[in-house]
Amino acid sequence: MKIAIAQINPRVGDISGNTRMIEDYARKAQAAGADLAVFPELTLTGYPPLDLLERNNFIDANLKALKGLAALKLKIALAVGFADRNPAKKGKPLHNAIALIEGGRIAAVRHKSLLPTYDIFDEARYFEPAAENKPLNFRGTVIGLTVCEDIWAGTTLLPSRLLYRNNPAKTLCAGKASIIINISASPFFTGKSRLRLKILSGLAKRTKSHIIYVNQAGANDELIFDGNSFALSPTGKVTARATAFARDLVILDTNAAGAAAVPALEQQETAEVCAALTLGIRDYFSKLGFTKAVLGLSGGIDSAVVAALAARAVGPLNVTGVMMPSEYTSPQSGKDALRLAGNLGIKTKNIPIKKIYRAFLDRLAEDDGSGEVSLTMQNLQARTRGSLLMALANSNGALALATGNKSEIAVGYCTLYGDTAGAIAPIADLFKTEVYRLAEYLNREGEIIPPAIIKRPPTAELKPGQRDQDDLPPYETLDEILRLYLEENKSLPEIVRLGFESGLVLSVLKRVESNEYKRKQLPVALKVTEKSFGYGRKMPIVKTLDFIN
């Protein structure tokens, strides 16, 4: 059987646009001689549709689109993800579903059995799980149709304590299915593509079945979908693979004796992160209808990396780096920022903030003449820059990029309505040490980010002689403590037992928990780790900190 993996990039809510995309790929697959074209999870609605699923007209439109695809009467069959209504009087009103369209009709429908309710997922909010999933006969071959989580039951991709009561893939194979098709909308995190492949390769061997895994490629809000769809033989061998972080159409033949050359997975994690963030920025802009980006260009590592990613994502001529020097900004910072802009080919704008900042101080009577730059005065500089940046975005029909990293955001080393202002925060899920690694990767073929920016000790330059490490532990230490606490859920005693000083760990954890109010107000942060800030980490703002001990 010839199967087409249609790795497309749906847009949430754009049912008509998604339908046209499905038809386009279906016709291409038909012309290539495929029997069946398989599309990602919730293809018609886009993923994740969230509370759009509560709108009856939205569900009606997606069901009408499904019937419209059947009415095309294509020779090729289609497997399409959609939101189906639950006919039962009890339970959630919808099912997460896959339809097999063949011969001008909806030949079969299967519903998702396993509904994830961890990390970023909350599917039980909207969907009723399927009671069963039976295999079906398609053109003389018994196949199984599954939706995303259904294929992961009993595997290490799931949280360690999560046990589902049934295993759809195992049940389908017991029902003599020789091909398991899985449609997915699986968000990216570093290393996930290799983990998926390893786990499903083992499943193919155990069940002695072909596995066709189809993931979407693109980004919606903070979620990035890496594609990396593939097909596996019953021996676990990769017989087809789609490209990473891009739309693709791949045709495979399950009856072929030998497989064509299959491109290798990208092994460099930093390369994956770079591709993911570039795609995340590009889709955020394009799906919202924006083409221009503005960001503060300080001469520091964070803004340099964000500028480089933005230039890759929307084109250098659409990026403006805004230099906003204060009386505390060193001449070196300006030189480094201009050199970076020249390397990238982006536009620059220079707006000194000294007079604006001093006007604020005069009104507030904050400066007592002692020469001491208070925290209020430091924050005021950041907020002056934030206001200017947002004004420039407004006047130029652009989106502003926030440049904060995960280390700063974790401990609150950032200013609300200042350096946190913007529509999207591209590197907010990267620790500072990871930002440096990404900078080195961007320079792999020649200078993009000037070496002086990489080598210079990080500083906010909000007061004389300031350095980040005056207020924070060295980033190598801070980032490891944060990683253990945020991503591995280690407690204070557990972190201390790994060799960190107790008082230091306690101070870091207190800063993390006492700055939740800031994180609740930050821009959308592109997710590239298993545990990012955003709706994947739900913590109360108002709470006692006693639990830290």
State how far the Cα of 365 lies from the Cα of 355, in Å rounded to an integer.
15
Place of tokens 């980040």: 468
Please tell me whether the peptide bond between 48 and the residue prior to it is cis, using omega within 30 degrees of 0.
Answer: yes
DSSP character string of 446-515? S-SS-HHHHHSPP---SSTT--GGGTS--HHHHHHHHIIIIIS---HHHHHHTT--HHHHHHHHHHHHHT
Q: Which residues contact 87 (CB under 8 A, 6 or more apart)?
A: none
Which of 102, 123, 128, 148 is catalytic? The answer is 148
First to last CA, the chain: 59
| 96, 127 contact by CB (below 8 A) | yes
Which of 102, 112, 272, 490 is catalytic? The answer is 112
- Walk across the sheet containing 238-241 and list its strands: 136-138, 141-147, 179-184, 210-215, 230-232, 238-241
CB atoms within 10 A of CB 226: 27
Annotation marks residue 148 as catalytic: yes
**Encoding tokens for residue 336?**
């480094």
Helix (H) or strand (E) holding 192, with range, is helix 192-207
Q: What is the CA radius of gyration of the chain?
A: 26
Choose among 270, 272, 277: nearest CA to 312.
277
**Encoding tokens for residue 377?**
């005065």
| 2, 253 contact by CB (below 8 A) | yes
Annotation marks residue 112 as catalytic: yes
Annotation marks residue 41 as catalytic: yes
Residues recognised as catalytic: 41, 112, 148
